[in-house]
Amino acid sequence: MANPSEFNPLFFGIGSFGYLVRRLLQLMVENIETRFTGEAVNFSQFLALVSLNAHETHTAADVARFLGHDAGATTRLIDQLEQRGFLSRERSTEDRRVVDLAVTAAGKAMIHRCAATAASFHADLLGDLPPAELAKLMSQLSRLVDKLKAAPAEQPPAEAKRRGK
């Protein structure tokens, strides 16, 4: 493993691992949003429906974390999906403070309809990779996701705290 000093190009600056992952995500979202232009939902709304349908998320707060949106933006997104009949809100029977979200039949139909748009985008993006390379990339990305999901967020080192960072 390379030395994680702050000036190591693997960990810092343009071309670093973090930069490339972030830039890839930005470019992917920009490009896939254009493919959703003719759909009844935008890409963020599609992702919210998919995450709810897969039971990855259950509440507005879960959706906000999943999408990386603030509470206000997520509320507007959920309001729009509810108004179009793609999801419903139900007060939790276990905790009245919690409002659970559920994908409706119309929402499931929208997911099915838009899945082809998302799949086409990913096929275009990844289609040039040989199957073995694609399998390895997916495996490595899955390992990184699993590692971060399993690990608690680390506190900054004591030295950084003392310097006020």
Per-residue pLDDT of 27-82, as tens digits, reads 999 999 999 998 999 999 999 999 999 999 999 999 999 999 999 999 999 999 99
Whether 85 maps to a domain, the answer reads yes
CB 86 within 8 A of CB 103: yes
Whether 1 maps to a domain, the answer reads no
Angle at 112 between CA 110 and CA 114, to 5 degrees: 65
Whether 5 maps to a domain, the answer reads no
DSSP at 91? E
pLDDT confidence tier of residue 155, bands split at 50, 70 and 90:
low
Whether 30 maps to a domain, the answer reads no
Whether 161 maps to a domain, the answer reads no
Report the CATH number at residue 138: 1.10.10.10
Per-residue pLDDT of 99-134, as tens digits, reads 999 999 999 999 999 999 999 999 999 999 999 999
Whether 62 maps to a domain, the answer reads yes
Please count the residues of the chain.
165
Cross-strand bridge partners of residue 99: 91
Angle at 39 between CA 37 and CA 40, to 5 degrees: 120
Report the domain count for the chain: 1
Query: Residue 45 belongs to what domain range?
Result: 41-149
